[in-house]
Amino acid sequence: MALLHALGVKKLRLNPISPTFFANIAKILGIESEYVDTRLDFGSEADIVHNFFESYTPSSLIVFQNHGKSVGDAKVFVKKSEGCLVAEFEDEELYQKTKLFLDGGVKRGRLWNYDVVSVGIKEKAKECEVAGLEEKIARSNEIVEFFDERFAKNPYFDTLCIGKATYKTYYPILLKPALYCPKEDIYQELRENGIAVEVRFKPLYKLTFFHSASMPVSEELYKAIMLLPLDKNIVEPLWEVLEKYRYRGCSF
């Protein structure tokens, strides 16, 4: 919210597979939102940022990514993982405007004197540091490479090239269409077997408050995507569950 206000954004382009709070913040600030369909790119070494599957060579105002090296070219990089979020600014004026917003729009004077010069909220920043980040990035890259090798040309799902610049916590896969219908059963059985798989957000256009026309790539992505935990021990149990549902298919 602070960044969008500081940047003076009037219109926001959102991938439909985004958290609802992105769209909610735009509504609160009176920013017009435009939904832009997801772009799938199986050939690039796109790093995992907020939208996992977007071809990622950005030049933009804000980049939202996992902790690690900055990916792309932007005025501010918002980096997150493990409940820790930091913003790295390339623009001093933008930093000061954001800081002012988070201090309630209050300009401090001598002693107790102050003035309110802008709209803002009161939000105190907390210390945020990811211990051993370089080691964690190296470890996550090692497991990603292991999965790439083990999952190559498998009959159950497709994978993507994943860059090495940031810390990964999940490995994204795209289920084959034959597994779309039993996806809920697959998810539930994997969780019951102790494999902490996750799925992505429901497309914003499917939600009553943000409803708009369906977008074909985002629709397929929502049906296909599953996020695997970075644990080498999941491979054999994963094969067993997927093989069980491989021939069930859909009834329509």
* Structural domain boundaries in the chain: 2-116, 133-245
- Which of 16-25, 59-68, 118-127 comes out lowest in average pLDDT? 59-68
* pLDDT score, position 188: 97
pLDDT, tens digit, for every residue of 177-207?
A: 999 999 999 999 999 999 999 998 899 999 9
* Residue 85: closest CA among 151, 21, 157: 21
Judged against a pLDDT cut of 90, whether residue 158 lies above it is answered with yes
Judged against a pLDDT cut of 90, whether residue 157 lies above it is answered with yes
Judged against a pLDDT cut of 90, whether residue 51 lies above it is answered with no
* Residue 162: closest CA among 140, 142, 175, 144: 144
pLDDT, tens digit, for every residue of 59-75?
A: 567 777 888 888 777 78
Homologous superfamily assigned to 133-245: Aspartate Aminotransferase, domain 1 (3.90.1150.10)
Q: 149 burial class (0-12, 13-18, 19+ CB within 10 angstroms)? A: exposed
Question: What is the bridge-based pairing of β-strands 170-175 and 106-108?
Answer: unpaired
User: Are 67 and 49 contacting, i.e. CB atoms less than 8 angstroms apart?
Assistant: no
* pLDDT score, position 43: 64
Judged against a pLDDT cut of 50, whether residue 104 lies above it is answered with yes
* pLDDT score, position 249: 63
* pLDDT score, position 46: 60
* pLDDT score, position 114: 94
